[in-house]
Amino acid sequence: MGDVPVNIARLFQLNRARFSGPVVTVGPPSAATAFEPSYRVVLLHADAQLGAGHSHHVEARQGDGDNLAKRARHGVQHSAVPSTRLGHSWHSDFANNAQVRAAPKRQILAMSNRKVALVTGANKGIGLQIAKDLVALDFIVVVGSRDLERGLTAARVVGPGGHAVQLDVTDVASIARAEQRIRADFGRLDVLVNNAGISYSGDPAASFEDKVNTGRPSTASLSETRAVFETNVFGVIAVTQAMLPLLREAPAGRIVNVSSTVGSLALQTDPANPFPFTSVTYVPSKTALNAVTVAFANELRDTRIKVNAACPGFTATDLNTFRGTRSVAEGARQAVRLALLGADGPTGTFSNDDGIIPW
C-alpha cells in the first residue's frame, strides 16, 4: 500500500449543497482521514487502473479543493485491485481494497454530473473507439461485450471512466442483467449506442468473399439470415426497450443506431450506384434497422429522447476482414456527434460525415 498522490483530488467530487450524509473516511483505520459531516465525497469511478499502477483521481469542487487535497495527501492510501477482477463489481472491489466508506454506489454516482453511456459490441472496432471518444468527453462508458473478459480488457483500454458489462444482444436474460447492473451501479443512462452487429454468423476466419457469398439471395440459408437479423435488428429492439426506462429518466436521452448506407433503399435502387449489393442478410438487416430507428424516433418524438442512425462508412474492422478504407477514429465520429446532440438537434435521421443519407 502506498500514498495516493495529490491528484487523488480528481476521483471524488465534493458536493456539500446537494447531499448530506455521514462522515466519510478513506483509507485503513490506521491512516484514515475523516471528512466533516458537512462535506460529501462522491465516488466518480474506481476503474481498475490501480492494478496497472495508475492512481485513481478525485475532484474537489465548490471552493474546497485545497482542503480536500491536503487531507488526501496526508491520509489516503490504496491497494491494487486484482487484475482478474478489473472492471467487475467495481464498487465492492474498490471499497474492499481501498477501504472507502461512502454512500451506496447508486447514490454516489447519481450525485455526479457525468453522463453515462452504454455502447454495445464495444470490446473492439468502431464500438471501442466510440467508447474511447465518449470517455475523453468526460462520459462514464459501459462497454457492452458478449465475452466479459474481452469487455474488461476493452474497459482498461478505454481508460478511467470505462466499465464492462456482459451483454449479448440476442439474449433477453443477458440484456436484463445489464440493465439491472447499470441501474444499480450508475443510477442513470444518458446515451445508448446500438453498435453491436454482424455480417456473417459462421467461421470468423472466413474470407471477405465467402462472407459476402453467404448472403446471396439465391443461395443464402434461412438460418444465416435469421442469425444476422437476430443481432442487427431484433437485438437493437430488445436492448432499446430494456434501456428506455433509464433513458426516459435522463435529462436528454440519446439513442444512436450504427447503420450503413448499404441499407439505403434509395441508394440501392439508384441506377447510377456503381456498387449495388445483392444480399438478403446484412444489407436488408440495415434497411430494417433504419426502419426501427424511424419507429422509435416517431414514438419518442414528444419526449426528451432523440433517436438517430449513423453510418460509419467503409471502416476497416473484422466485419469486412479489414478491407475498409476508413480508420476506426473516422468511423466513430458520426455516432459520437449524434450522441452529443443538443435539445435543438434532429431526431429520426440517417447520416454520415457528409450529411443526411436518403432512406
The distance from CA 73 to its chain's CA centroid, rounded to whole angstroms, is 33
Q: Is 39 a catalytic residue?
A: no
Residue 203: is it exposed, middle or buried by C-beta count within 10 angstroms (0-12/13-18/19+)? Answer: exposed
**Lowest mean pLDDT: which of 35-39, 111-115, 239-243, 245-249?**
35-39
Q: Which long-range contacts (CB under 8 A, 24 or more apart) does 97-100 make?
A: 97/50, 98/26, 98/27, 98/46, 98/56, 99/26, 99/27, 99/28, 99/29, 99/32, 100/24, 100/26, 100/43, 100/46
Annotated catalytic residue: which of 94, 282, 296, 350? Answer: 282
Q: What are phi and psi of 10, to 5 degrees?
A: -105, 0
The secondary structure of the chain in percent helix, strand, coil, rounded to multiples of 5, reads 40, 15, 45
| DSSP notation for 308-338 | EEE---SB-SGGGTT--SB-HHHHHHHHHHH
DSSP SS3 for 249 = helix
- Tens of pLDDT along 114-124? 999 999 999 99
Which residues are CB-contacts of 101 (< 8 A; sequence separation ≥ 6)? 24, 25, 26, 95
For the chain, which residues make up each domain, given as ranges? 2-104, 116-356
CA distances from 148 to 129, 152, 235, 246 (A): 18, 6, 18, 22
Q: pLDDT tier at 209 (50, 70, 90 boundaries)?
A: confident
- Tens of pLDDT along 157-203? 999 999 999 999 999 999 999 999 999 999 999 999 999 999 988 88
End-to-end CA distance of the chain: 58
CA nearest to 155, candidates 123, 178, 183, 197: 123
Residue 106 grid coordinates: 447508486
Superfamily of domain 116-356: NAD(P)-binding Rossmann-like Domain (3.40.50.720)
